[in-house]
Amino acid sequence: MAVSTGWARKSAIFLPAVLVILVIAGEGTQRFSIQNTAGLLAPFWFRHFASLPQQRFWEFVEVVRKVGHLIGYGLACAAFFATCYWRLSRGSSPLPASGGWGLKNRAAGWALILTMMLGSADELHQRFVPQRTSTITDVGFDVCGGYFALMILFTAMRFKERLDAPAEPLQPAAEIHL
């Protein structure tokens, strides 16, 4: 029983990354083409903004789709970061395994590389799906989403680090002589 528990525990760290990859692969299908996305957004748009020109609706659809790239690939990059950080902290590396920032930076670099590879693979896949387009700018949005997610994650880690740090005793103010 201990062997399966150890295996399950070790493989559980890969689960978020695998799930995000599967979701992104599912979103790369014809079901999430711009025509279908527009069909989902049309009731909201025409209920609230019916007086605006039709072109504004298509611009809104495009913005929602690009924000989706930023959020989706941001989550993917965060999952990749967690997996890479776990893996690098247990590997034979000259970096300290104590969770130093060098290790976090290295894991972030790998997470961005994996995010770019996933975005490129998704765009290549979409090239062969009817009603889908494949653009290099979408890969750029994917990497930007990953980078923004890492910036938020690193900011949160720094903030937590400062909260957990022991408080320094107050030093008496220096006397000012005029």
d(CA 9, CA 15): 10
Residue 67: domain span: 8-29+56-151
pLDDT one-digit tens code per residue, 69-128: 899 999 999 999 999 998 888 865 555 545 688 889 999 999 999 999 999 999 998 888
Q: Judge whether 76 lies within some domain.
A: yes
Question: Directed axis angle between helix 54-90 and helix 136-164, to 10°?
Answer: 50
Mapped to the 3 state alphabet, what secondary structure does the chain carry? Answer: CHHHHHHHHHHHCCHHHHHHHHHHHHHCCHHHCHHHHHHHHHHHHHHHCCCCCHHHHHHHHHHHHHHHHHHHHHHHHHHHHHHHHHHHHHCCCCCCCCCCHHHHHHHHHHHHHHHHHHHHHHHHHHCCCCCCCCCHHHHHHHHHHHHHHHHHHHHHHHHHHHHHCCCCCCCCCCCCCC
Q: Judge whether 122 lies within some domain.
A: yes
d(CA 60, CA 37): 11
Cβ neighbours of residue 162 under 8 Å, at least 6 residues apart?
none
Q: Give the pLDDT confidence score for residue 116 in this predicted structure.
A: 96
Q: Judge whether 41 lies within some domain.
A: no
Q: Judge whether 137 lies within some domain.
A: yes
Q: Judge whether 81 lies within some domain.
A: yes
pLDDT one-digit tens code per residue, 4-41: 567 777 778 888 888 988 988 888 777 777 888 888 88
Q: Judge whether 66 lies within some domain.
A: yes
Whole-structure pTM value? 0.78
Q: Judge whether 42 lies within some domain.
A: no
Q: Judge whether 40 lies within some domain.
A: no
Tell me the residue length of the chain: 178
pLDDT one-digit tens code per residue, 124-145: 988 888 878 888 999 999 999 9
d(CA 118, CA 142): 9
Task: Count how many domains the chain has.
Answer: 1
The larger pLDDT score, comparing residue 177 to residue 73, is at 73
